[in-house]
């Protein structure tokens, strides 16, 4: 008798569902209906096939994990290869330095050394521009110049090499280079110009950020001239207009401007205090407005990343920070595009949103 009862109990449903499953809002309606049918009549209820929606989501998650793993492996491989290359370059530099020191010790005769040595001009524009391009401080530029001159056999004791000397040479070199740039620019400026400006927060010398206005001119035959990127006290329309007009006056092109091109921000397009109002009033004539909301592309890129990698929990994007920290290890000679990278081709082929954006607006 007990055996028959036990066999009968085996045929009953073993209900593991929560007691409040039917009242919970996070449980799907179809799941509630299935549970209710199993409790009422297990003989008539049955399970359907595979949940294709969930299966597709799981498949995409697995593909994304595999793709990210492959990208990390390639990144680690590139870092290892570039690190090895840097070690080889460091060894070559060290060997060259040893040879230079040996050559310097051979030049024991001051007269012979003076005849055979190569002179370096502290005011050379190539040298000064290299210091600026590499962002060397005055102290770093001074020590670099002194070490280079000594390796080339010059008598440092008879030269006036100091931080103040290098600083004055850099100032003079910058002024000379700026004069040449302005002279060449003024010779090529066409008669009809479009004035462009846009603000950007950039790091200052003190380490803080400051508002700078990029001022450009474009004209016929794809002519393009950068007038300057001066700092602005703030981003109000009046201050932006003053900064832009100062650059225009220094270039002497007031009468050649026929149109404006600017971003559609409140400080630019205000009907009373907008920058274009102040500039147009100062120029004393009506001009063509080429307002362009080019920042809309940032919104598109934002949606692409959110669809592919999920939304960000803060202002800093993790993948961007990792790219910045590892940028020195990136081999820029091995650039790839959507058409040449197998990983990107696979990604755009499996991601519907990315595929649509890739071919937008066609």
Q: Where are the domains of the chain?
A: 2-40, 110-182, 190-294, 297-358
- Given pLDDT bands bounded at 50, 70 and 90, which one contains residue 24? confident
- Among 37-51, 152-166, 254-268, 326-340, the range with the most confident prediction by mean pLDDT is 254-268
What tens digit of pLDDT does each residue of 147-196 get? 888 777 777 777 777 888 888 888 888 888 888 887 777 777 888 999 99
Q: Is the dihedral of CA 27, 30, 32, 35 positive or negative?
A: negative
Residue 15 pLDDT greater than 70, yes or no: no
Lowest mean per-residue pLDDT among 68-72, 294-298, 299-303: 294-298
Give the pLDDT mean for 40-44: 62
- Given pLDDT bands bounded at 50, 70 and 90, which one contains residue 108? very low
Cα 30 to chain centroid, rounded: 47
> What is the Cα–Cα distance from 304 to 44, expressed in whole angstroms?
47
Residue 114: per-residue pLDDT: 47
Spatial neighbors of 122 by CB under 8 A, at least 6 apart, are: 145, 161, 165, 166, 169
What tens digit of pLDDT does each residue of 92-101 get? 656 656 555 5
Coil, strand, or helix at residue 330?
A: coil
Tokens of 272: 């009373």
Residue 110 pLDDT greater than 50, yes or no: no
Coil, strand, or helix at residue 259?
A: strand
Residue 94: per-residue pLDDT: 66
β partners of residue 226: 216
Q: Is 348 exposed, middle or buried (0-12, 13-18, 19+ CB in 10 A)?
A: buried
β partners of residue 203: 209
**More confident: 156 or 288:** 288
Helix or strand run (H / E) with residue 227: strand 223-228
Lowest mean per-residue pLDDT among 10-14, 201-205, 289-293: 10-14
Q: Measuring CA to CA, which residue among 192, 260, 268 is closest to residue 237?
A: 268
Give the pLDDT mean for 321-338: 81
Lowest mean per-residue pLDDT among 118-132, 239-253, 256-270: 118-132
Mean per-residue pLDDT over the chain, rounded: 78
Q: Measuring CA to CA, which residue among 181, 331, 194 is closest to residue 260?
A: 194
Residue 112 pLDDT greater than 50, yes or no: no
Q: Given strand 257-262, what is the order of strands in its sheet?
A: 223-228, 209-219, 193-203, 257-262, 288-291
Residue 318: per-residue pLDDT: 78
Give the pLDDT mean for 43-48: 56
Tell me if 140 sits within 8 A of 111, measured CB to CB: no
Tell me if 20 sits within 8 A of 31, measured CB to CB: no
Residue 325 pLDDT greater than 80, yes or no: yes
Residue 217 pLDDT greater than 50, yes or no: yes
**More confident: 104 or 358:** 358
Residue 16 pLDDT greater than 70, yes or no: no
Give the pLDDT mean for 57-72: 84
> Taking the model in full, what pTM does it have?
0.47
Q: Is 224 exposed, middle or buried (0-12, 13-18, 19+ CB in 10 A)?
A: exposed
CATH topology of domain 190-294: archaeoglobus fulgidus dsm 4304 fold (3.30.2170)
């Amino acid at each position: 008798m007990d055996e028959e009862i036990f066999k009968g109990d085996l045929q009953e449903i073993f209900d593991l569902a929560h007691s409040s499953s039917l009242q919970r809002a996070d449980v799907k309606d179809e799941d509630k209906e299935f549970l209710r049918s199993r409790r009422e009549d297990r003989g008539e209820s049955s399970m359907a096939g595979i949940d294709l929606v969930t299966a597709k989501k799981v498949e995409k998650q697995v593909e994304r994990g595999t793709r990210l793993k492959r990208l990390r492996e390639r990144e680690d491989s590139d870092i290892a290869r570039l690190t090895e290359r840097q070690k080889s370059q460091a060894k070559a530099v060290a060997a060259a330095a040893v040879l230079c020191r040996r050559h310097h010790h051979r030049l024991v005769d001051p007269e012979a050394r003076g005849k055979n040595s190569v002179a370096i001009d502290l005011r050379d524009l190539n040298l000064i521009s290299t210091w600026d391009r590499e962002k060397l401080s005055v102290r770093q530029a001074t020590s670099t110049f002194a070490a280079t001159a000594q390796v080339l056999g010059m008598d440092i004791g008879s030269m006036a090499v100091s931080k103040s000397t290098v600083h004055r040479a850099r100032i003079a070199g910058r002024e000379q280079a700026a004069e040449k740039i302005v002279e060449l620019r003024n010779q090529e400026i066409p008669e009809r110009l479009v004035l462009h400006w846009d603000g950007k927060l950039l790091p200052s010398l003190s380490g803080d950020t400051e508002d700078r206005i990029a001022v450009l001119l474009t004209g016929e035959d794809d002519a393009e001239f950068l007038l300057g990127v001066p700092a602005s006290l703030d981003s109000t329309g009046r201050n932006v207009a003053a900064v832009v007009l100062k650059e225009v006056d220094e270039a002497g092109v007031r009468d050649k401007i026929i149109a404006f091109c600017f971003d559609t921000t409140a400080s630019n397009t205000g009907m009373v205090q907008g920058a274009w109002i102040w500039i147009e009033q100062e120029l004393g004539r009506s001009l063509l407005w080429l307002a362009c909301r080019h920042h809309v592309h940032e919104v598109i890129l934002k949606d692409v990343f959110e669809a592919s990698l999920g939304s960000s929990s803060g202002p800093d994007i993790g993948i961007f920070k990792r790219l910045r920290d590892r940028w020195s290890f990136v081999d820029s000679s091995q650039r790839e595009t959507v058409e040449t990278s197998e990983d990107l081709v696979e990604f755009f082929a499996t991601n519907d949103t990315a595929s649509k954006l890739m071919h937008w607006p066609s």
